[in-house]
Structure formats: C-alpha cells, structure tokens
Amino acid sequence: MTSHNEQPTEQVGTRLLFENDRVRVWDLALAPGEALEAHVHRLDFCFVVVRGGDLRHVHPEDPGQDQDVRYEDDQVVFLEAGEGLLHHRLVNVGGAPYRNLVIELKDGPARSSPPGHP
C-alpha cells in the first residue's frame, strides 16, 4: 500500500491514450480492488463511464470522509479544476472491472469562424 503522505500525482488515469494542444485523453481502468493513487486535476475535464461500477474516494487522514459512488455505463460528468482539484485515492470496491475515459480540456488556439460566418 502506498504511503498516504506522498504528494498527489498529475497522472489522472491509468494510461495516457492521446494528447494534442487542445485535449488530453486518459484511460482509467481499475480491476476489483485496484486503486488510482491521489491525483490532482489542473485542467477542466469530463469523464465518460465506459463500464460502470462502485468506487470509493478514500480520504488519507479521515476515513469518515470516505465517499462511495456508483457510476453507471454511459454516464458523463464534467468538473472544473479551478486552482487544482484534488482527488484522493480512488478504489474499485465493486466486483467487476471499472473503466472511464478522462478528457482534459487544454487552452488551445482561438477558434476562427468558418468561411462565410462572422
């Protein structure tokens, strides 16, 4: 088990799938009992649940603040990172694999209007 005193990582998934100047896409796949350690979101993001399940957000110092959440297939959640959104350890407490895709939104080039549109 990882020490709870470690600094959170900026790895917000289990595997980076894609990145360009506009977005970063992570796979977050957890088998039953597996965990993603504490991580911080620095970019606004959404996640799309590919395979739902039961997850526990584990608070390192106060188990009374642990939060169990059930995610459903095809659920989409959008969150703003603000100055940095800390997620404590995330554990798959269900009996089946869980998977979502995390899509981080980067600042990109200003959009230009399509031809013929102001």
Would residue 13 count as lying in a domain?
A: no
Q: What CATH number does the domain containing 98 carry?
A: 2.60.120.10
In a domain, 8, yes or no: no
- pLDDT tens digits along 23-67: 999 999 999 999 999 899 999 999 999 999 999 999 888 888 899
- C-alpha 18/C-alpha 38 separation (Å) is 22
Residues contacting residue 88 through CB under 8 Å, at least 6 positions apart: 38, 57, 58, 59, 60
Q: How far apart are CA 70 and CA 46, in angstroms?
A: 17
Written as one letter, the residue type at 92 is N
**Structural domain contains residue 40:** yes
Q: What is the pTM of this model?
A: 0.81
